[in-house]
Amino acid sequence: MISAIECIHASKSFREPADRGDRAGRNGPGARALRVLRVLDLVIPRRVRVDAVKDVSFQVNKGEIFGILGPNGSGKSTLVRLIATLLTPDSGTVTVFGQDVASDRLAVRRCINRVSVEAAFFKRLSALENLEYAARLYGLDAREGKRRAEAILERLGFPHKKVTVPLENLSRGMQQKVAIARALMTAPVALLLDEPTTGLDPVSKREVQDFVLEVRRTHDTTVILTTHDMQEAERLCDRIAVIHNGEFVAMDTPENLKASFGDGNGHTPTLEEAFFRLTGGNVEDWLREQGE
């Protein structure tokens, strides 16, 4: 198999203000992190190091859909941003089709597209205008860009009467569909999907998932997918990695991940149950983290 995306001992940390919510009293575990420096009544919070990704290594094969599951704050999005060249690893290497994300940034960007849960648009332009603009950036002429934009919006079930409505007047779910359409309209060789179906209704989720599988089948596109939707991960992914506190704690096919937590009496847990076992969580904590 051809390695399309490769991380070797990749790490990334940040300096963030100490969280006042962690205080447990003057001498409690959060007391050290809450010390501040006062200069002429200016209060400067102490900044602490946060290891978002710690010594992560993996390879994604060409044409593979590789899922990354993890609780909120586990490092999923940071890892995607490293691959997308939006962040530079502190140590280790990250390559996309042999191009290093630090030294060959422009070459990497030419072969990837990314969808994040917080997509950026020209909000006063319509869905069609946003996609036509993106098509010109990819080198397509105006006529071909409009044709592709209309075709992919229709394929994703976007209401025809809404294609000329400014994005600021559309729902969050419709905006996310436009983000997905923008990423898929040029059939990239590598596709980074960071919680792509968040905010979509079940029918729209299914339409997007079907199209991702279609793009992989017709263009041999390599996909990295982060998601909180266990059914989505199980349906789409050839392999899944579980990340917790910045580290991979498991990596295998969905079936093998589930089977590894069987009870020996013929019961195979769901992927969700395996996830909770790997991350030390439970259903109540998970729902609370997702704000449900």
> Does domain 3-12+51-111+192-289 sit in CATH 3.40.50.300?
yes
**Distance from C-alpha of 21 to C-alpha of 71, rounded to nearest angstrom:** 19
* pLDDT per residue rounded down to tens, the chain (292 residues): 668 999 999 999 988 776 544 444 444 444 444 445 455 555 556 678 889 999 999 999 999 999 999 999 899 999 999 999 999 999 999 999 999 999 999 999 988 988 887 767 888 999 999 999 988 888 888 899 999 999 989 988 889 999 999 999 988 888 888 888 888 887 779 999 999 888 788 988 998 898 889 889 988 999 999 999 999 999 999 999 999 999 999 999 999 999 988 777 778 889 999 999 998 865 555 555 545 4
Partners of 222 in the beta sheet? 190
Whole-structure pTM value: 0.81
Decide: 252 and 235 in contact? Cβ < 8 Å: no
**Distance from C-alpha of 115 to C-alpha of 184, rounded to nearest angstrom:** 9
Report the pLDDT value the prediction gives residue 40, as an integer from 0 to 100.
52
Report the pLDDT value the prediction gives residue 284, as an integer from 0 to 100.
55
User: If DSSP codes are grouped into helix, strand and coil, which group holds residue 203?
Assistant: helix
**Distance from C-alpha of 29 to C-alpha of 51, rounded to nearest angstrom:** 19
Report the pLDDT value the prediction gives residue 65, as an integer from 0 to 100.
97
**Distance from C-alpha of 238 to C-alpha of 221, rounded to nearest angstrom:** 13
Per DSSP, which regions of 75-143 are E strands? Answer: 91-96, 99-100, 112-115
The phi, psi pair for 33, rounded to 5°, reads: -70, -15
The number of beta carbons lying within 10 Å of the beta carbon of residue 86 is 16
